[in-house]
Copies of this chain bind each other. A is one copy, B any other.
Amino acid sequence: MGTSLRIIENNNHLLLTVKIAMSQNSVNVPSLKLRRVGIDTYKENVAYLHRDCPIYRTEGFQALSKIEIHIVGNGSPVIAVLNIVDDDSITAPDQLGLSEQVYHQLGMPDGTEVFISHASPPSSIKSVHLKIAGERLSNDDYLRIIQDIVNNRYSKIEIAAFLVGCAESGMEREEIISLTRAMVNTGEQLSWGEHLVSDKHCIGGIPGNRTTMLIVPIVAAHGMLMPKTSSRAITSPAGTADTMEVLACVDLPQDKLRDILQQERAFLVWGGTAKLAPADDILIAVERPLSMDSSGQMVASILSKKVAAGATHLLIDIPVGDTAKVRNSAEGLKLRKIFEYVGDKMGLHIEVVLTDGSQPIGNGIGPVLEAMDIMKVLHNDPQAPLELREKALKLAGRIIEFDPDVRGGQGYVIARDILESGRALAKMNAIIDMQGRNPEPMKLGILQQDILANSSGSVHTINNLRIATIARLAGAPLDKGAGVYIHKKVGDKVSKGDALFTIYAEFNADFNFAISAEHKDPCYSIKSDDVDDK
């Protein structure tokens, strides 16, 4: 065949070799030394291999996109995307660098001998292709997909393909149940040992809408069990956990939680430490940047977390408005039916209410600003934002009516009585003390700027999305004191030069981002009073 042989320059003899078992024979495979690389790659596993690695051909691996990292004598491999390194100080040729995410999953020290192999695509990806082709998936399909996702076998683009596949052809109701079950079953599940464990959830999108921190003390003061785990904000200016953290510790061990519950009937903590429906966080990390929020995914995401958290009775708040997630009541009704159908099948007692989502609720947006609003309501302060108070009372009333001893329609009155009598405040203080009161005073961002009306008239619209973005850019929720304080609501009269809202920030860069974004695309529209409705 006219070939000529040559001895290849392969410095394998310099390398450690390890014995691995292959299907029919056992061979010596040279190993790399594990190295932690101080890079946080946010929900995507990344490994680093030097371009001049004497063992593996980097280019071949990279185009194929994923590798399996094996520890000698250790069971299941970890999957990662490969980046190629040209700098020995990041990863030397005889090392395999791991981003923080992978390093923690492997849980082995620097220098551990590892070898890598080509990762085959997760076996459940075939089901994703079927879904993309428009087919209906089974219970088992969803379980295998979610298992692979929880085990980090999906890359971000594969997760995107799954989400878009589900969004596009739509999920049948039975499929949403399958997905919800799969998400519950691939994580931990809590149980509180009572027949009535109440919970509430808002689908989000309305800044300032911090009703949970009012509902929980009211409902608990009525004597009902409400173990409330909440999320931190991912792309919004504050989650309930962020706002509660202004007042108390929100990260507590399980046995402490049970103590609080026994004594006070409720707590308000961060749900991130428990591994409840862990697939959800992974899916959300792709959904958010894609602005995907299909109803099937949303229902499965919310209900799986609630079932895993041990809730039996659940109130869902769906705000409806032009700049809310749900634009009109027809859409809201459709979503309500899905929640009810899936909730029933999951054994939840579920109630869904459509609420006014036309503008922010309350005045403060951002952890400290929201906490201030809430404490004013609990103190029955005449300056307290009225519509936040009213909405919280209505929702608390509905939850109180889950109590079989409460007559239908009486919940609101009971809730109002609890609030006005000061029992809600007392309960909140007791919960705060048991969780561990934050000794620091509430501080607003030192950088403050009023945004002024550029004409006279009355406030026509306030864009929920934009005002949330401004508060977020200003630094909320990371800077607790950052955010937006709203002075004028829809319908309020304004004169040119009146302050519409104030931006609070702690860092210059964030302050400028927020002001610049408002100038580019203002949150308010003002209607001249000369123009009558026609």
Residues of chain A at the chain B interface (Cβ within 8 Å): 1-8, 10, 12, 22-25, 27, 29-30, 37-42, 46, 48, 51, 55-57, 59-60, 62-66, 83-87, 89-90, 99-100, 117-118, 121, 125, 129, 132-134, 155-161, 163-165, 167-169, 234-235, 286, 288-292, 368, 372, 441-444, 446, 472-473, 475, 478-479, 481, 506-510, 512-513, 515-516, 519-520
Q: Give bound CA distance, A372 to B481, whole Å.
A: 72
**A478 — which chain B residues lie within 8 A by C-beta?**
57, 59-60
Q: Is the CB of A64 within 8 A of B157?
A: no
Closest residue of chain B to A170, judged by CB?
A: B134
Q: A475: shortest Cβ distance to chain B, in Å? A: 6
Most chain B beta-carbon contacts within 10 A, residue among A46, A168, A510: A168
Partner of A85, one of B38, B290, B520: B38
**A22 — which chain B residues lie within 8 A by C-beta?**
512, 515-516, 519
| 6 interchain residue pairs of minimum CB distance | A38-B87, A38-B86, A65-B289, A160-B160, A40-B84, A157-B160
Q: Give bound CA distance, A99 to B66, whole Å.
A: 19
Q: Is the CB of B2 within 8 A of A442?
A: yes
Q: A26: shortest Cβ distance to chain B, in Å? A: 11
Q: A403: shortest Cβ distance to chain B, in Å? A: 35
Q: Give bound CA distance, A48 to B129, whole Å.
A: 34
Partner of A235, one of B63, B292, B510: B63
**A5 — which chain B residues lie within 8 A by C-beta?**
443-444, 446
Knowing A168-B165, A509-B29, the reply to whether A7 touches B446 (Cβ < 8 A) is yes
Q: Is the CB of A156 within 8 A of B156?
A: yes
Q: Give bound CA distance, A51 to B42, whole Å.
A: 13
**A159 — which chain B residues lie within 8 A by C-beta?**
157
Q: A67: shortest Cβ distance to chain B, in Å? A: 11
Knowing A39-B85, A443-B5, the reply to whether A508 touches B164 (Cβ < 8 A) is no
Q: A486: shortest Cβ distance to chain B, in Å? A: 13
Closest residue of chain B to A161, judged by CB?
A: B164
Q: Is the CB of A63 within 8 A of B446?
A: no
Q: Is the CB of B446 within 8 A of A6?
A: yes
**A10 — which chain B residues lie within 8 A by C-beta?**
506-508
**A65 — which chain B residues lie within 8 A by C-beta?**
288-289
Q: A144: shortest Cβ distance to chain B, in Å? A: 17
Closest residue of chain B to A233, judged by CB?
A: B63
**A25 — which chain B residues lie within 8 A by C-beta?**
519
Q: Give bound CA distance, A84 to B46, whole Å.
A: 13
Q: Is the CB of A510 within 8 A of B57?
A: yes
Q: Is the CB of B442 within 8 A of A3?
A: yes
Partner of A90, one of B90, B134, B164: B90
Q: Is the CB of A443 within 8 A of B6?
A: yes
**A117 — which chain B residues lie within 8 A by C-beta?**
513
**A442 — which chain B residues lie within 8 A by C-beta?**
2-3
Q: A346: shortest Cβ distance to chain B, in Å? A: 27
Q: Is the CB of B118 within 8 A of A513?
A: yes
Q: Is the CB of B63 within 8 A of A288?
A: yes
Beyond A2-B442, A161-B164: 17 further Cβ-contacts under 8 Å? A4-B441, A22-B515, A22-B516, A38-B90, A39-B85, A40-B84, A42-B63, A55-B508, A56-B509, A57-B507, A60-B510, A89-B89, A121-B289, A134-B168, A158-B289, A160-B164, A164-B168
Q: Give bound CA distance, A85 to B36, whole Å.
A: 12
Q: Give bound CA distance, A29 to B512, whole Å.
A: 8
Closest residue of chain B to A64, judged by CB?
A: B235
Q: A116: shortest Cβ distance to chain B, in Å? A: 9
Q: A53: shortest Cβ distance to chain B, in Å? A: 9
Q: Is the CB of A86 within 8 A of B63?
A: no
**A288 — which chain B residues lie within 8 A by C-beta?**
63, 65
Q: Is the CB of B132 within 8 A of A289?
A: no
Q: Is the CB of A508 within 8 A of B160?
A: no
Knowing A39-B48, A157-B290, A290-B158, the reply to whether A167 touches B509 (Cβ < 8 A) is no
Q: Give bound CA distance, A10 to B60, whole Å.
A: 46
Q: Give bound CA distance, A2 to B442, whole Å.
A: 8
23 example contacts (A-B, Cβ-Cβ < 8 A) are as follows: A3-B441, A3-B444, A3-B481, A6-B446, A8-B506, A8-B507, A39-B84, A39-B85, A39-B86, A39-B90, A40-B51, A40-B86, A42-B63, A55-B507, A60-B472, A60-B475, A63-B288, A132-B167, A133-B168, A156-B156, A157-B286, A161-B163, A161-B164
